[in-house]
Amino acid sequence: MITTVCLNPAIDRSISIAEFTYGGMNRVKSVRNDAGGKGVNVAVTLARLGLETQCISFLHKNGGKEIENRLLTDGVKSAGVWLDGTLRTNIKLLDMSKNVVTEINESGAAVSESDLQKMNDMIARYAQESDFLVLSGSLPPGCPADYYRTIIESLEGTSCRCVLDADGAKLTEGLKAKPYLIKPNQYELELLVGRPLSSLDDIKGAALDLIDRGISIVAVSMGGDGAMITDGTQCIYAPRLNVEVRSTVGAGDAMIAGLTAGCLAELPLEEIFVKGVACATASVMTEGTQLIEKAAYKSLIPEVEFKLI
């Protein structure tokens, strides 16, 4: 069983405009609304890969049912701490002329200490029946920056392994608890180590430094430059696949799902990596915030090329 945690779910509103005019009139070509958030996206992607998955989230009285329904539609078990207030909306604005997405994300409703304690208790219960706990995405107002660290530390000594996909202070603090797997992108890794990483060797070195700090697996996504992964024994690189990129929104969530699925199956590192790369690639082939199609994912598996570095 894989459990994902989504502390700050949202409605992702994808708006397509033929050619965006800053400060001027823009006419909308199409609009799509999807209930989401990183933890929700990871859970749904895992379910589409055929895995038993559940998602724990903060659910708002105004809009929370949309998150529940989104999960249940794909067969994901949903559990949550209910909050007053309204589910936040994240706008993904696509300029079709440049194929560039601008994101405008709301912060979300604040949570209290009582809300966080309820969430702590729920995570502890669900972790008892889980092989992996995936912690990903932003934190709502009122949630301390070291919350992911607190959760990981609370599971020390259990059989549940933690996957962390976060940035900034959330990642810096979370690393202190030594999660099993992390997946920063290149920019997030640069911020973490405090220096530019201008070559694959630089990225490899930074990833190995994190292995030395107690992380079991470090994967780094590099956008158009591909991705790499290491467990300290092997370092593997894969270039990006030559596919039509329709949207990069959610690609990181898809990679986390593929990597975690591979870890759950106790696959060799290269097979774990192939699953992650194929999932991320299948994601960029979809429009807006739509998630992967299993058929596309399966067709990409044999196309992934990789080499030891």
| Residue 246, both tokens | 């329709």
| Residue 66, both tokens | 């949309």
**Exactly one of 34, 165, 231, 253 is catalytic; which is it?**
253
- CA 18 to chain centroid, in Å, comes to 29
CB of 204 closer than 8 Å to CB of 235: yes
Helix axes 64-73, 38-48, angle to 10 degrees: 20
Q: Which of 139, 147, 149 is nearest to 110 (CA)?
A: 139
| Residue 267, both tokens | 């696959």
Does the annotation mark 253 as catalytic?
yes
CB of 123 closer than 8 Å to CB of 58: no
Q: Please name the residue ranges forming H helices in 75-134.
A: 113-127
Kindly provide the residue ranges of all beta strands, DSSP E only, lying in the chain, ordered along the sequence: 2-6, 10-17, 28-36, 53-62, 77-86, 88-95, 100-105, 132-136, 161-165, 181-182, 217-221, 227-230, 235-238, 307-308
Output the CA angle 179-5-299, nearest 5 degrees. 85
Active-site residue set: 253
